Amino acid sequence: MAENRMEDLIGMLKNQRMLATLVLGAFLAVPAFAQAPTSPAASDTSLRAGAQMINDLVTGNHILYGQGVLDGFGHLSARSDKDPNIFLMSRSVAPGLVKASDIMEYDLDGKPVDRRDRGIFSERFIHSAIYKTYPEVKAIVHSHSSAVIPYSVTKTPLRAIFHMSAFLGLGAPVFEIRKFGGDDTNMLVNNQDFGLALAKTLGNSAVVLMRGHGATVVGDSIKQAVFRAVYTQVNAQVESDALKLGEVNFLNAKEAATFVEYQKNQKQVIERPWELWKQTVKNAN
Ligand SMILES: [Zn+2]
């Protein structure tokens, strides 16, 4: 009998705890539902892009800085998911410091949609011209990676040396600005004509090197462009190391193409490092 009473007592206490949990849960649910999302609210509400895209753009900037692909210079952009004739990029600010409120809209001729008094990148035409030329491109990284630059000024091609950078194939093309602007340029792609010439040199490749300047990497998403920008730099470092040791056995065209095809169906190949890199950066939304 004593045992039964004890069981009844335990049962009653359990029910009371469940009731308390329900009451507390209902109480807590109100403010949780009423709470506005913090990050997107910080961005310009007139932007024609989803909140997730703006978040990814900010995170991507921080990842590229954290991975040493961008320093105080360089930029990441994305084609709007609401209007394909608009792309999004920060105002002129170091990538590691980009906040959601820094994100601006540009048209495909490189004109800011609503500039106000904000500073803008002189090389925005890299982005505008590539988006204009290739509708399938959804995100672009422009960097001055010091590991990559040697391959823009020598005859040694930057080509896929391991599977993670298979997208480089047999070698990234090199944009020679002198061919289009003569000796008078300051090396910057600072007008739409230079941007269109760069886009033409890029062709079907994922990466175009820019002689004595840096590289531009494209992708079908922010995550893919960031992934490719990081692994372009890693490839350059590994290739430079390997070349010092002797003759290099690179991926051949078939191997590179097969891995690129495999990766298309393996979303986690892009997602896994993104989630890891994301943990290493401070989200400054
Ligand atoms: Zn540049």
The predicted pLDDT at position 92 comes to 96
What pLDDT does residue 46 have? 83
Question: Measured in angstroms, how far is the CA atom of residue 114 from the centroid of ligand 1?
Answer: 23
Residue-level pLDDT at 251: 98
In angstroms, the CA 201 to CA 23 distance is: 64
Output the pLDDT for position 25: 39
Q: 214 CA to middle of ligand 1, Å? A: 6
pLDDT at 5: 54
Amino acid at 144: H
- The DSSP letter of residue 107 is E
pTM, two decimal places: 0.84
Q: Is 135 buried (19+), middle (13-18) or exposed (0-12) by CB count in 10 A?
A: exposed
Q: 234 CA to middle of ligand 1, Å?
A: 19
Catalytic residue among 3, 105, 123, 136: 123
CA 82 to CA 144: how far, in whole Å? 30
Residue 123: active-site member: yes
Residue 135 is predicted with a pLDDT of 98
Q: How far is the CA of 213 from the centre of ligand 1 (A)?
A: 6
What are the beta bridge partners of residue 75? 142
Q: What string of pLDDT tens digits covers the 285 residues of the chain?
A: 444 554 554 455 445 544 444 444 333 333 333 333 334 446 777 899 999 999 999 999 999 999 999 999 999 999 999 999 999 999 999 999 999 999 999 999 999 999 999 999 999 999 999 999 999 999 999 999 999 999 999 999 999 999 999 999 999 999 999 999 999 999 999 999 999 999 999 999 999 999 999 999 999 999 999 999 999 999 999 999 999 999 999 999 999 999 999 988 888 889 999 999 999 996 544
pLDDT of residue 265: 85
Strand order in the sheet with 139-143: 103-107, 86-90, 75-79, 139-143, 214-219, 207-210, 174-175
Q: Look up residue 165 and give its DSSP letter.
A: G
Could you tell me if 140 and 216 are in contact, meaning their C-beta atoms sit under 8 angstroms apart?
A: yes
- Residue 142 forms beta bridges with which residues? 75, 216
Instruction: Check the CA dihedral 45-48-51-53 and report its sign.
Output: negative
What token pair was written down for 256?
Answer: 């590179």
Tokens 């906040």 -> residue? 99
SS3 241: helix
Query: What's the CA-to-centroid distance between 254 and ligand 1, angstroms?
Result: 32
Query: Do the Cβ atoms of 141 and 217 come closer than 8 Å?
Result: yes
Measure CA 255 to chain center: 25
Q: What is the pLDDT of residue 121?
A: 94
